[in-house]
Amino acid sequence: MSAGPRNLAVCVALALAPAVSAHDTWPDTPLARTQALAELQTLNAELLSHPSATLTLEHWCGAHRLAVPAKVVAHRLQGRDKPLPPDGRALLGIGPDEPVRYRRVRLACGDTVLSDADNWYVPSRLTTTMNRQLDTTDVPFGKVVQPLHFRRRTLSAEPLWSPLPPGWDSGAALPPASSRPLAIPPHVLQHRALLYTQDNRPFSLVVESYTASVLVHP
């Protein structure tokens, strides 16, 4: 099989496969729930403290031995473009006629999908080479624009799931252990962020939904 068809097959498999795998071995016990919360909070803190989600996920992948080598690849999902969110043009500081492009990808380390990302970006604020890479390759956005030495401003960081019930830190009882695996939804954390050039111009609005596979049982 040539490199092209092989890459296409990988993309199709990742697009069709459920974005859950690494969490399958989590038992439903108070200890495992506490460990899952610690994992989720650690990842959230690392994402908030680094400008590139791609490089953060790559480090996470390596630290948890999800794949060798620990390399994150963006598998583009083709289809209808999502419209820019209502506040998108104001956040990006652009007028009503400024072109905006959309890119949807699944960030995977090996066979493990770690994130689904929606990205709206302003092509006029990138180089010709960067735009060509984004149009024709599966290189992650963060790696393509790395020469811009960009900074990231997180607009929101929302947990989509908690393994512990409300009030657990105030003495509320934890769920009892069960014989079933811990039930974890497909996505556990969502970040919304703006990326800025060195001269403080926003050029990308991203919404990143992190999958249950970021949670790796110790």
- What's the CATH code of the domain at 47? 3.40.1410.10
Instruction: State how far the Cα of 192 lies from the Cα of 207, in Å rounded to an integer.
Output: 5
Q: Check residue 25 and give its pLDDT.
A: 80
**14 domain-assigned:** no
Q: How many domains, in total, are found in the chain?
A: 1
Roughly how many angstroms between the first and final C-alpha of the chain, as a whole number? 37
| Residue range of the domain that includes 87 | 26-167+174-214
How many Cβ atoms are within 10 Å of 211's Cβ, its own excluded?
26
Q: 72-76 and 202-211: which strand pairing?
A: unpaired
What confidence score (pLDDT) does residue 12 get?
Answer: 38
What pTM was estimated for this model as a whole? 0.83
Q: Report the C-alpha gap between 212 and 119 in whole angstroms.
A: 21
- Tell me the mean pLDDT per 10 residues along the chain, length 218: 40 38 73 94 95 92 94 88 96 97 95 96 97 91 93 96 87 86 96 96 98 92
Asked whether residue 47 is assigned to any structural domain, the reply reads: yes
Within-domain flag for 58: yes
Token output for 98 = 């400024």
In a domain, 10, yes or no: no
The confidence score (pLDDT) of residue 24 equals: 53
Residue 11: per-residue pLDDT: 40
Quick check: 156 and 171 in contact, CB under 8 A? no
Residue 17 falls inside a structural domain? no
| Per-residue confidence (pLDDT) for residue 18, from 0 to 100 | 39
Residue 2 lies in a domain: no
Residue type, 98: E
Fill in the DSSP letter of residue 110.
Answer: T
**Is 149 a domain residue?**
yes
CA distances (Å), 161 to each of 37, 50, 136, 185, in order?
A: 9, 23, 35, 7
Does residue 203 form part of some domain? yes
Positive or negative, the CA dihedral 41, 46, 51, 57 is negative
